[in-house]
């Protein structure tokens, strides 16, 4: 059995904890190092009691010497930090990044949307935007695997196939997404301290939300078309989960059944994409603690329109699970390993 050594940088955040839990049960993985800044010397079980019975290293500060005995580095760090680590990579290392550091193909776009200069421009060409169901055959060619954001994952999976098949009007896409507050990281509790986070629903970001750039880039690159959409994210008083509601105009002659049939055909061999029966009302409860994306195609009151529902667990399919799925693909492990329902 092939075994690899992994390091997790940013192990104590919501995503880092979820990564640790998945990798700790992965039969091809040994967690060699857990790295953090403010919790050095602590056990990871301090942050999640379910890890009490796992033999895991204590949290240490990252340094480049740690990379000598590591195969895969997972980074769940604040934006900009993974760029620094990318310049330290050895030939044997692959970097699987869950931040936004390598999602955008142009350094100028990173500056525009993240208000910081990219510190590793020369490494962008070594990276791939790794939405596994779309890029599966290309992932092995890159040493930096950039995992998509949580909102874009729920949005791109249903849209890319439909635009490619010319089934929908790609100039009038309206996306309404609602996420659990864990998507904003641990700092969300301080940021929303006076805004009743646990009992209110908040729209935010709108045209300025950073995931706009990621969605636009990937829709255009993967369809070869200039696409137009409106994206409104919301923070909800639940811990985890995303439900995206996408309003679409059908192209002439296209029906709801044709959309469902094509999505089923397109994702037939993709283990984590589930196409629901027509007009199924989805809940985030349908996907919590799984690496699944469930897509439902629903009628509109207008004949030439449909409503798509797309639901994922933002910490798994929108984060740690997708990262492990990409690792499994890279190393030819069973794609489901560590990620079974």
Report yes or no: 8 and 16 within 8 Å, Cβ to Cβ: yes
pLDDT of residue 193: 65
Q: Is 17 among the domain residues?
A: yes
Q: Is 27 among the domain residues?
A: yes
The structure tokens listed for 123 are: 């490494």
pLDDT of residue 38: 83
**216 and 324: one domain?**
no
Total of domains in the chain: 2
Residue of 35, 150, 293, 298 marked active site: 150
Listing from the earlier edge strand, what are the strands of the sheet with 29-35? Answer: 59-60, 29-35, 4-9, 72-75, 94-97, 144-146, 127-129
| 69-86 residue pLDDT tens | 999 999 999 999 999 999
Q: What's 142's domain CATH number?
A: 3.40.50.720
Helix (H, G, I), strand (E, B) or coil at 184: helix
Return the minimum-mean-pLDDT range out of 85-99, 160-174, 186-200, 245-259: 186-200
**Mean pLDDT of all residues in the chain?**
95
| 166-198 residue pLDDT tens | 999 999 999 999 999 887 676 666 666 666 777
Alpha-carbon distance values, 160 to 14, 108, 114, 131, 219 (Å):
29, 25, 25, 11, 6
Radius of gyration for the alpha carbons in the chain, expressed in angstroms and rounded: 20
Of the chain, the end-to-end C-alpha distance in Å amounts to 23
- Distance (Å, whole) CA 81 – CA 118: 10
- What is the domain range of residue 198? 151-314
pLDDT of residue 182: 87
**302 and 323: one domain?**
no
The structure tokens listed for 210 are: 């950073």
**67 and 172: one domain?**
no
CA atoms within 13 A on the CB side of 229: 33
Using pLDDT thresholds of 50, 70 and 90, give the confidence band for residue 243.
Answer: very high
Report yes or no: 250 and 162 within 8 Å, Cβ to Cβ: no
| 125-173 residue pLDDT tens | 999 999 999 999 999 999 999 999 999 999 999 999 999 999 999 999 9
Residue 341 has pLDDT above 70, yes or no: no
Residue 99 has pLDDT above 90, yes or no: yes
> Among candidates 71, 63, 58, 60, which has minimal Cα distance to 26?
71
**195 and 298: one domain?**
yes
- φ, ψ (nearest 5 deg) of residue 7: -125, 135
**132 and 234: one domain?**
no
- Annotation says 293 is catalytic: no
Residue 322 has pLDDT above 90, yes or no: yes
Q: Is 337 among the domain residues?
A: no
Q: Is 335 among the domain residues?
A: no
């Amino acid at each position: 059995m092939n075994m690899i050594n992994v390091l997790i940088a940013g192990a104590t955040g919501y995503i880092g904890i979820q990564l640790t839990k998945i990798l700790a049960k992965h039969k091809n993985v040994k967690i060699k190092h857990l790295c953090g800044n403010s919790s050095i010397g602590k056990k990871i079980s301090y942050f999640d009691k379910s890890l009490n019975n796992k033999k895991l290293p204590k949290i240490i500060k990252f340094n480049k010497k740690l990379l000598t005995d590591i195969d895969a580095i997972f980074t769940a760090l604040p934006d900009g930090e993974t760029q620094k680590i990318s310049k330290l990579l050895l030939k044997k290392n692959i970097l699987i990044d869950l931040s936004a550091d390598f999602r955008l193909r142009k350094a100028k776009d990173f500056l525009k949307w993240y208000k910081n200069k990219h510190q590793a421009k020369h490494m962008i060409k070594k990276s791939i935007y790794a939405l596994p169901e779309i890029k599966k055959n290309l992932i092995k060619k890159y040493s930096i695997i950039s995992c998509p954001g949580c909102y874009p994952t729920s949005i791109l999976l249903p849209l890319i196939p439909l635009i490619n098949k010319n089934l929908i009007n790609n100039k009038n896409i309206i996306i309404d997404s609602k996420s659990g507050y864990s998507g904003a990281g641990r700092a969300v509790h301080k940021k929303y301290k006076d805004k009743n986070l646990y009992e209110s629903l908040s729209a935010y970001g709108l045209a300025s939300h950073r995931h706009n750039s990621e969605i636009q880039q990937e829709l255009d690159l993967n369809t070869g078309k200039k696409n137009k959409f409106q994206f409104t994210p919301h923070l909800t008083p639940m811990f985890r989960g995303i439900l995206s509601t996408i309003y679409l105009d059908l192209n002439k002659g296209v029906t709801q059944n044709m959309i469902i049939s094509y999505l089923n055909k397109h994702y037939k061999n993709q283990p984590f994409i589930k196409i629901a029966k027509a007009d199924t009302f989805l809940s985030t409860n349908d996907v919590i603690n799984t690496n699944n994306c469930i897509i439902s195609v629903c009628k509109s009151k207008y004949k030439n329109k449909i409503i798509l529902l797309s639901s994922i667990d933002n910490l798994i399919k929108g984060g740690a699970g997708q990262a492990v799925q990409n690792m499994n693909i890279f190393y030819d492990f069973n794609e489901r390993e560590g990620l079974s329902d």
